[in-house]
Every structure is written in C-alpha cells, then in structure tokens.
Copies of this chain bind each other. A is one copy, B any other.
C-alpha cells in the first residue's frame, strides 16, 4: 500500500460502490469535506478512525499503520527529512517504552 490515506479511503469506498454522501454519513461528516479528505486537501480526523474501520470491516491496527504512516510521510516530505528520522523515531519509541512516560489519554 503506497497510496496516501485519502487515496486509500477512496479506493475502499469505490470498491464497495459507495458514494461520498453514503460514506460521509457513516463517518458522520459532510460529503464535501470527505471529498477534500480523499483529495488530500483536508486531514482525516483521528477520532473517526474507529468509524472508518467499522465501515469497511478493517483491522484497526493495520488502519493505524496506514493513518500514522501517512501523517509521518507527509511531514517528512514537507520538511525534507532524511529517512534517518524514522530510525531515530524507532529508537525513541523504545526509549519512551523503557521509561514508561506518562502520556496523554489514549483516544481509542
């Protein structure tokens, strides 16, 4: 899966023969805004990931990989970050786990 998250949603939606309006309704969002999301002109809101998973019966862990992978990629692309950034990120995740940082409330 190399597509952006917007392209990914569009693929899921059209594969299932849904219109923007239909999917937007499932996601509790305006069809015009869903269009922007699919076209990369708005971000998909974290808090709707669960609805998206339900709509297409997706594995939630895999969906998170797509979603956050997309976010990271956009940042890196926008700021021209070397791919070393990702290795450092991995180290730092392990570091955070090792010190068991108190963290913001998990949203899902």
Given the interface contacts A64-B85, A65-B81, does A92 sit within 8 Å of B75 by beta carbon?
A: no
Contact-residue size bin, chain A (C-beta under 8 Å from the other chain): 35 or more
User: Contact between A79 and B106 (Cβ–Cβ < 8 Å)?
Assistant: yes
Apart from A2-B94, A72-B85, 20 more pairs, CB < 8 Å: A2-B91, A3-B95, A4-B96, A64-B82, A64-B85, A68-B75, A68-B89, A69-B86, A69-B87, A69-B91, A72-B72, A72-B75, A73-B90, A73-B95, A74-B96, A77-B96, A77-B103, A78-B104, A83-B90, A86-B89
The 20 listed contacts between A and B (C-beta, < 8 Å) are: A2-B92, A3-B95, A4-B96, A40-B101, A64-B85, A65-B82, A65-B84, A66-B88, A68-B75, A69-B88, A69-B91, A71-B75, A72-B72, A73-B88, A73-B96, A74-B92, A76-B89, A76-B93, A79-B108, A80-B106
Using CB atoms and an 8 Å cutoff, list the residues of chain A in contact with chain B. Answer: 1-4, 40, 61, 64-66, 68-97, 101, 103-104, 106-108
